[in-house]
Structure formats: structure tokens, C-alpha cells
Amino acid sequence: MTGTTEITIRRPDDWHLHLRDGAMLEAVVPFTARQFARAIIMPNLSPPVTTSDLARAYRDRILAALPDGSDFTPLMTCYLTDDTDADDLVQGHADGVFTAVKLYPAGATTNSASGVTDMGRVLGVLERMEDAGIPLLVHGETTDPSVDVFYREAVYIDRTLAPLLQRFPGLKVVFEHITTADAVDFVMGGGENLAATVTAHHLMMNRNAMFVGGLRPHMYCLPVAKRENHRLALSAAATSGNAKFFLGTDSAPHTLAAKESDCGCAGIFSAPSALEHYVQVFDEEGALEHFEAFASLNGPAFYGLEPNAEMITLSKTGSEVPGDVAIKNAEGPEGAIKPFLAGETLAWSLKD
């Protein structure tokens, strides 16, 4: 496909997304609804989305925040805690409220304080999920503060994820936003019940990006970007056509004030130009023929859903990533969110 200047594929979905709530939700959801038909919505609000009632109410708020004429379906997740009510979870899944369950090791990242403190406490819930076929979406980083931040994903595999899959061999698991060659190898070596999402920013940058000419808070996310050899492994896996890897942006908006701070939040807001970022990676790898599988087919197949019927077209005509996105009725650094690569020119654009 060298020299391709246009590509038409089934409409993609985003299998990992943070939309937040209130005015922030209103500011960011139009970008995702323009690009994607469905998205897995992360439950790390404060307080987190821990019950089917809370998920129903959050879904209603997302639908209410959509621009008129949008065709977008939020797929809700349950935030797993030490005290999750397995009956509510399984019933919520049967009722179509919950698509999946999100596991945050307590303290691993933004709003994860209510997460799981000890896997021993959720074994009963995981058994019910395995029986009911409910996917577990894993933030795979150890919270052991003595482990180097760049090794937390690799250590999590050995200490937690591998034993978990051994104990629950039928549990559907998505290893979210993988950042290492170790994670790629682990996912490839697993069964059909194990898959992974890959973000655009982890495909496009390595850890140097956080330090170019100074400290770059808008390049900081968790899991933190790793060395170039890891980025290359992610890129090879994502663009290979292997059905175990699919698109999940982990677009995670924070205000400028929260990012540009003495203790800045982790999270990269990539939603505005997500597809343009991804298609550029596939183009550079000479793998455009695998883009539709990664963006539009592998995710639905793993989740047991139909791919979207509509088509979209991306063309190699260039586009500009928007500048700071304003939050209604909020001013100063509290009133705006900076997109990933804001203001930069990209090779591709999504046609309306």
C-alpha cells in the first residue's frame, strides 16, 4: 500500500477512554463522538463508578452531553474495589449496563485510591466474572514504591498478572495501555482470552519526550512512556494485524492547572486527533492494510460485539491538532485542556 493517500475503513471504536464529568465531560466528549462509534468509559471519577446505579446515571450524563446528531455509544465499566458487590456487577452486566470491569491497583494512578489493595480480596468477584464472561480491564503496574517507575509494568506481569491468569484461565483480560516489550511478549504468549490496548501516544513517543528542552508535563502519563526499544515493540505488535492488539487511546484530560503544577497529574488528552495519530503510525510502518483490524475489528471481536456498519475515510491531506480546548464557564489554567501535540501539523485527516 505504499503511496496510499486515502483509506476507507469501518468506523472505529475507542476501547479505553476517560471522559470525566460535568463541564469537562461537555468539553471533551464531542471530539470522541466525532471520531468513534463506541468507547469503553473509564470509571475513575471521584467518587468512582462502583455500582450499576452509578454507571446508569453516568451513562445518562454522557448521552446528555453529546452534541445534537451524534451517533456515539458509551460502554460503561465498573470500578473494582475490595468491596465490590458481585451480584450487582453480574446483574448489571446481564442488563447491559456494564460492558467490563476496571482493575486499578490501589494508588497506581489518578483516582485509584479506592482500587484493589490485595488481589486476595477480589477472588470471589473474579470467579463470578470468569463464569459470566465479563472482561477484566487491568491497569498493570505494581504499586510497590521500591520498584523503579520504568519497571512497574514488567514487575506487575510477574507478580500479579501471570498468577491471576493461571488461577482464572478462562477470565477475559485486557492488559490496558501496554508500554513495554515485556507486555507485548506476555500478551502474545497468552490464550485467546488475553488481549491488549495500545495508545497513540505510546506508539508515537518514547520517554525522551518528557524531557525535550525542559520538563514536559503534557507528555506525562501512566504507565509512563519507556525506552525506544519498547516503543518499537509496541509499534510492531499494533501494526502486525494480530487480533490480540486493538485501539484504546487512554485519552485522559486534565486542566492546564492540574498538569502544569508542582505535582502534575498523569494523563494525555489525545482525543481530538486520535485517528490521525494512529493512521500516521501505520502509514510510517507500511502497514495501512492492518489499520482497520486494529482500529475497528479486533476490539469488537474480543468483546463479542459486531463491528460498526458505517465507514469512515482518512486522507493524507494534512490536518492541524487543535490548540487548547476551553471548558465552559472556567477561566485561566483551570479553564483549558491541552491536546497531545497541540498546534502541530499531522499528515492525515479524518474526512467529515
Task: Kindly list the residues in this chain that would bind Zn ion in the complex (CB under 5 A).
Answer: 250
Three cell numbers at 247? 485501539
Which of the ranges 69-77, 193-201, 259-267, 281-289 carries the binding residues for ligand DOR, by CB under 6 A? Answer: 259-267
Which of the ranges 70-78, 122-130, 211-219, 265-273 carries the binding residues for ligand DOR, by CB under 6 A? Answer: 265-273
Site for ligand DOR in 194-233 (CB under 6 A): 221-222
Q: Which of 109, 180, 242, 298 binds ligand DOR (CB under 6 A)?
A: 109
Least distance in Å: CB of 14 to ligand DOR? 14
Q: Does 44 bind ligand DOR (CB under 6 A)?
A: yes
State the Cα–Cα distance between residues 333 and 97, nearest whole angstrom.
Answer: 35
Instruction: Calculate the CA 274 to chain-centre distance.
Output: 11
Write down the catalytic residue from 13, 14, 182, 250. 250
State whether the Cα torsion 54-56-57-62 is positive or negative: positive
In the complex with ligand DOR, which residue's Cβ is closer, 79 or 348?
A: 79
Whether cis (ω within 30° of 0) applies to the bond prior to 223 is: yes
Q: Does 28 bind ligand DOR (CB under 6 A)?
A: no
In the complex with ligand DOR, which residue's Cβ is closer, 24 or 90?
A: 24
Nearest CA among 49, 52, 43 for reference residue 98? 52
State the Cα–Cα distance between residues 116 and 100, nearest whole angstrom.
Answer: 16
Q: Does 252 bind ligand DOR (CB under 6 A)?
A: yes
Least distance in Å: CB of 191 to Zn ion? 24
Q: What is 140-183 written as a DSSP string?
A: -----TTS-GGGHHHHHIIIIIHHHHHH-TT--EEE-S--SHHH
Least distance in Å: CB of 78 to ligand DOR? 16
Q: What is 304-351 written as a DSSP string?
A: T-PPPSSEEEEESS-EE---PEEPTT--GGGSEEPBTTTT-EES-EE-
Q: What is 55-81 written as a DSSP string?
A: HHHHHHHHHHHSPTT---EEEEEEE--
CA distances from 202 to 179, 197, 251, 267 (A): 6, 11, 12, 12
Q: Does 172 bind ligand DOR (CB under 6 A)?
A: no
Q: Is position 21 annotated as part of the catalytic site?
A: no
In the complex with Zn ion, which residue's Cβ is closer, 43 or 300?
A: 43
Which of the ranges 127-135, 228-236, 240-248, 260-268 carries the binding residues for ligand DOR, by CB under 6 A? Answer: 260-268
Q: Does 274 bind ligand DOR (CB under 6 A)?
A: no
In the complex with ligand DOR, which residue's Cβ is closer, 38 or 201?
A: 201
Which of the ranges 58-66, 263-271, 276-284, 335-343 carries the binding residues for ligand DOR, by CB under 6 A? Answer: 263-271
Burial of 207 (0-12, 13-18, 19+ CB in 10 A): middle
Least distance in Å: CB of 213 to ligand DOR? 22
The set of catalytic residues is 250
Q: Give residues in contact with ligand DOR (CB under 6 A).
A: 18, 44, 109-110, 139, 221-222, 252, 265-267
